[in-house]
Amino acid sequence: MQTRYWRIDSRPEGTRFAEALSLSETSLPALGEGEIRIRNAMLSMDAGTRMWLTDREDGYQPPLAIESPMTGLVLGEVIASRSDAFKEGDLVRAFGTWADVSQVDPVLAGAIALDPSVKDRRAWFGPLGMNGWTALWGVEVTGAAKAGERVLVSAAAGATGLLAVQIARLLGCEAWGIAGGAEKGRLLIEDFGCAGAINYKTANLGEQLDAAGGFDVYFDNVGGPVLDKVLTRMNHYGRIAVCGLVSDYTSGSRTAPSEFDQVLMRRLRVEGFFSPDFIDQGERLTQRLLGWFEAGELTMPYDVTHGLENTLLAYEKLFAGRNIGKVIVELEQ
């Protein structure tokens, strides 16, 4: 069987993805014992995957090899199976390839069968997706947010951030968001119930944070200079849940906070967390998210691009801040 796929030709510089990845075609090998084939209906664009395209060996995942297909979360129907756990026709989500068809070992790919009765399948990449697990874990477990506390979220108008602010509110906290631009701030306050929003693309970020007052939890998706500004505004005994460092991903910089001493001065806890570490709790997390989702309390705007050939245009949006909510590529079926 033939499939088109995005091939990694070289390590991309910044956001120049078109120079480093090419749309190629290949014949899939015969299905191995235990493997499944998924006809990809949607690809999830995730900012964290940018790190897999670098050559750094000390990340939380080894780099993807040059000449290999680009990996990412996919959603689609099983079209062939040599696995006892999946049959043809099952709707699944898995770490597959940016391709028309993904062929994977479902265990290694973290494949899960999805409830086909959920009307909007995009939700499996949104409130019910791994971004949902990440947001819930980061706010409740790593951030240890308690009702009445003040929770600040960066990249708040993106997929993970929008879920984190909503979950913070659902847990009885006062949610604030940091995002690039006044329009994103308006959306956070008017549509997602944030108590306030901070535009980091201004010269007076520090003044905006001072006016907001101290925070008990910082759900950080960004790192970089914004983290320094927040470190000096945390309440004593606050928690910083380090979810991502998107300000580093395309610049190649490494977050190195110059205000680190505030961790001692304010007795802060700073802890990173990574969703594959709690994949075994996925079902439990999904059930909690599903409850909020079905009650209409957890929502997500989608930024949808059509066609596998346009994938890189969708991917770039994450790093230019041109997205609101979850970026998805829908493929022709």
Ligand X SMILES: NC(=O)c1ccc[n+]([C@@H]2O[C@H](COP(=O)([O-])OP(=O)(O)OC[C@H]3O[C@@H](n4cnc5c(N)ncnc54)[C@H](OP(=O)(O)O)[C@@H]3O)[C@@H](O)[C@H]2O)c1
Which residues in this chain contact ligand X in the complex, by CB under 6 A? Answer: 46-48, 131, 134, 155, 157-161, 179-181, 184, 221-222, 243-247, 273-275, 318-319, 321, 323
Nearer to ligand X by C-beta: 37 or 50? 50
Task: Give the strand pairing for 91-97 and 71-81.
Answer: antiparallel
Nearer to ligand X by C-beta: 122 or 184? 184
Listed in sequence order, the residues at least 6 apart from 294 whose beta carbon sits closer than 8 Å to its beta carbon are none
Cβ 276 to ligand X shortest distance, Å: 7
Measured between alpha carbons, how far is 40 from 54 in angstroms, rounded to an integer? 25
Cβ 88 to ligand X shortest distance, Å: 30
Please give the single-letter amino acid code of residue 156: A
Nearer to ligand X by C-beta: 6 or 133? 133
Cβ 96 to ligand X shortest distance, Å: 17
Cβ 239 to ligand X shortest distance, Å: 15
Cβ 29 to ligand X shortest distance, Å: 30
Asked if 95 and 123 count as a contact pair (C-beta separation under 8 A), the reply is no
Nearer to ligand X by C-beta: 106 or 185? 185
Using alpha carbons, select from 24, 101, 36 the residue that is nearest to residue 67: 24
Nearer to ligand X by C-beta: 292 or 319? 319
Q: How far is CA 298 from CA 158, 165, 192, 214, in A?
A: 14, 10, 9, 26
Q: How far is CA 250 from CA 12, 53, 72, 150, 265, in A?
A: 9, 10, 17, 30, 32
